[in-house]
A and B are shown apart, each in its own frame.
Chain A
Amino acid sequence: MTPEAVREQRDALRRAGERLRRRPFDDTLAVLARVLDAWSDPESSYRRRLEAELPGATGFSPQTVREGLALALSEWSGDALTTLAHRELPRPVEGAATTAVILAGSIPMPSLLSIVAPLALRSPVLVKCASRDTVTPRLVARSLIDADRELGECIALLDVRGDAQSCIDALLEAECVLATGSDETIAALRERMSDPQRLVAHGHRLSLAALGPQACSAAALPGVAAALARDVALWDQLGCLSPLAVYVPRDCVVPVGDALAEALARLERVLPRGSIDARSAAAIAAERSEAELRGAAGHATRVLAGSGTSWTVVCEAVAAVRPAPLHRFLRIFPVTDAAALLETLRPYASHLAGVALAGFGAAEPDLTERLRALGASRVCAPGRLQAPPLDWRRDGHSVLASLAPAPV
């Protein structure tokens, strides 16, 4: 693709956007609501095709894709979108003349929402697909075209490689840019944009879990561990809402580790992890060996692992910063109490997305507020991390209002 072709697409989108903006705001919203209803229906042709095609494109197992979509999209209904729009946009708001949407990664829900959100403001979207997932944007575009031809004309998918500098520059001429990517990517985009352009950026994030004493009791632990293991297993721990570590009272590290290992082993049978490359597998193998060696050197470290590199639980002796190889690799860290937990998480504050929280009893509401104040945009019960509501303020951004040219 050439920069001229990108600009031609953008000009065509501008014209399509002008036509769209002649229609009432609620009219567009109603179409998008129908589109989301279709996506939240497991029997819709789009869902079925996504479930069929995404595993081959991304390496996730079919079971994980099916289960992940079912959990995440069940509440992303048309009604939820309408409610969200009326709350965030109390009056009809026109979005930017064009919005460039830069997608990353291979998890489909952020892609779906990144395309739909600007359209809700009647801003046509120029989409740079992630190299690892061109399936989702293609099917989302198809669903829009099928729902409303005029709306379908407001989306263009670009076949631009990440390093095609001149095309990216042309893409970044859009009035608004909605981008997902690493800190490095986002910083590079920010550098290349200028006022009055608007950048809404979603950087890479991490999530964690914290279990209080009540969640670690013999009665509660199996259920909590099963729920938490699900949060880990869905999307193979690659999502920003996938917990990488669990913080528990010191005397609970071993039982929690055992329970999570059992739960992950069980899940591996029904939601097998997808394929991974040699580099990721080598990182897991090395981290396991390192943990074994720490144990051999006298640290209270245990490694529990499935066959190959399918899943790993490392019970750590101290809450130190350690690499997270992802792909279902979970560390259990001891913390003394809620105050210590907050201090431990403080260094991560600017990158914190979600915290799964349970077992803190009466202290839980206060802890939830403190975690939010620290930066967590999603605090929920174990098992719910991967099902953010449609109005989840990812990275603190409102879903729709953040895309408006002026404060709503």
Chain B
Amino acid sequence: MSLDPRRAALDAQVIEWMQEPLWGDDDERFETLALALFAFQFEHCAAYRRYCEGRGRTPARVERWQDVPAVPTGAFKEVALRSFPEQRTECVFRTSGTTTRKRGELHLDTLAVYEASLLPPFCRFLLPDLTAHHPLATLLVLAPSPAEARDSSLSHMFGVAIREIGAEGSRFFVERGELELDALRKALDEAPHDAPLLLCGTAFAFVHFADALDARGERLELPPRTRIMETGGFKGRSRNLPRTDLYPLLEARLGVALERIVNQYGMTELGSQFYDSVLVDPEGPRRKLAPPWTRVRVLDPETGAEAQPGDNGALFVTDLANTGSVCAIQTTDIGRQLGEGFEVLGREPGAEERGCSIAADELLSGDGE
């Protein structure tokens, strides 16, 4: 069964945008594609169609991309939000989670758009010093390989990055849940000093790495062209560190300056990712920057209206890379606009609850993965 021709045309237009070397905010182009995607997804995803109809938002009525109904990330745990026939499913990425709670699933019928979307921001925000003459970087990944974690979108992303821009020696350093410390140490020792070195992985893997170095009484001084990319939370898999503590820890243990540590904001439910601005705009405030085929809005959850600049609100993402599922996503993350980017706000460390009631899901979600 071949790809629906309308969908194929949409995919082609989105991929074309992703492959353009110059990034500009083309609002008209974004709106045209977002509305066309909405119409397609409305037609091909029955649950989403009924959801939109329940809100009185049909393609005939929606004239702005901002009015496309967003689905909450949690819905990916409950409903297979695919805009293609089930038998065309090529890949399912799953959110990390616990054995007692359902995991969110992103169903894909093609990896073409997904893979096309991940590399340009990865290179732009993490490896801005790559050139046509020096197109490769050493990528050392503190995460399991895609072969080991087949349903992890993060591992897949790193796998594509190694495949496309990884220099010799690039590889994964987590196997069967264990960090291969000696191998990683050796790879760091052998990494060339005159080429970009990217150490990337999950935040909790970096905590394990830092703690392991501490246990050995080691402090590294990685080459000046090293940068770190970390992503994700901790979910009980290491001690829980706010980034205000994690980054100084990494700076102290690895010798990588704070302004060369980049957080990636991404989620399984989204095809695209967002990165801290520090490597492309070291003078400006640390903020997340988005590729042009996405829009991130900060909405007042009480009213659904745009939050005032600087005010906190819920993050809503419209991602044209989500051609096979639903392109408008409602997250439960809180953030605020910051310049042309946005900031994701974590929970205040040590913040006390207002009451003494416990949320029911907390009771059954503490058994790790």
Q: What is A's interface to B at a CB cutoff of 8 Å?
A: 58-59, 104-107, 110, 130-132, 161-163, 180, 182-183, 202-207, 235-240, 242, 244-245, 277-279, 281-287, 289-290, 292-299, 308-309, 321-326, 347-348, 351
CB distance from B86 to the nearest CB of A (A): 14
Contact present for A347 and B364 (CB under 8 Å): yes
CB distance from A64 to the nearest CB of B (A): 12
Contact present for B51 and A292 (CB under 8 Å): yes
User: CB-nearest residue of chain A relative to B47?
Assistant: A297
Q: A163-B350, A321-B101, A321-B360 are in contact. Are A282 and B314 (CB under 8 A)?
A: yes
User: CB-nearest residue of chain A relative to B366?
Assistant: A183
Contact present for B360 and A292 (CB under 8 Å): no
Contact present for A104 and B353 (CB under 8 Å): yes
CB distance from B240 to the nearest CB of A (A): 10
User: CB-nearest residue of chain A relative to B298?
Assistant: A278
Q: What is B's interface to A at a CB cutoff of 8 Å?
A: 47-51, 53-55, 70-75, 78-79, 100-101, 300-304, 307, 312-314, 330-334, 347, 349-350, 352-361, 363-364
User: CB-nearest residue of chain A relative to B100?
Assistant: A321
CB distance from B227 to the nearest CB of A (A): 31
Partner of B361, one of A279, A282, A324: A324
Contact present for A323 and B47 (CB under 8 Å): no
Contacts A/B (CB < 8 Å), 10 sampled: A104-B353, A206-B360, A238-B355, A244-B359, A244-B360, A282-B301, A286-B314, A296-B49, A297-B47, A321-B364
Q: What separation, in Å, do the CA atoms of A91 and B166 have in the docked complex?
A: 78
Contact present for B360 and A324 (CB under 8 Å): yes
Contact present for B71 and A281 (CB under 8 Å): no
Q: What separation, in Å, do the CA atoms of A185 and B100 have in the docked complex?
A: 23
Contact present for A282 and B47 (CB under 8 Å): no
> Which residues of the partner chain A approach B74 to less than 8 Å between Cβ atoms?
286-287, 290, 323
Contact present for A326 and B332 (CB under 8 Å): no
Contact present for A326 and B355 (CB under 8 Å): yes
> Which residues of the partner chain A approach B313 to less than 8 Å between Cβ atoms?
278, 282
Q: A298-B47, A321-B101, A325-B359 are in contact. Are A289 and B75 (CB under 8 A)?
A: yes
Contact present for A104 and B352 (CB under 8 Å): yes
CB distance from A402 to the nearest CB of B (A): 17
CB-based A-B contact count at 8 angstroms:
169
Contact present for B355 and A351 (CB under 8 Å): no
User: CB-nearest residue of chain B relative to A59?
Assistant: B354
> Which residues of the partner chain A approach B347 to less than 8 Å between Cβ atoms?
279
CB distance from A191 to the nearest CB of B (A): 14
Contact present for B361 and A131 (CB under 8 Å): no
Q: What separation, in Å, do the CA atoms of A237 and B301 have in the docked complex?
A: 19
Partner of A242, one of B49, B302, B357, B363: B357
CB distance from B105 to the nearest CB of A (A): 13
Q: What separation, in Å, do the CA atoms of A237 and B353 have in the docked complex?
A: 13
User: CB-nearest residue of chain B relative to A275?
Assistant: B302
Q: What separation, in Å, do the CA atoms of A286 and B331 have in the docked complex?
A: 7
> Which residues of the partner chain A approach B72 to less than 8 Å between Cβ atoms?
286-287, 289-290, 293
> Which residues of the partner chain A approach B55 to less than 8 Å between Cβ atoms?
292
Q: A105-B355, A206-B358, A278-B334 are in contact. Are A351 and B47 (CB under 8 A)?
A: no
CB distance from A156 to the nearest CB of B (A): 21
> Which residues of the partner chain A approach B356 to less than 8 Å between Cβ atoms?
104-105, 107, 110, 180, 202, 204-205, 238-240
Contact present for A278 and B314 (CB under 8 Å): yes
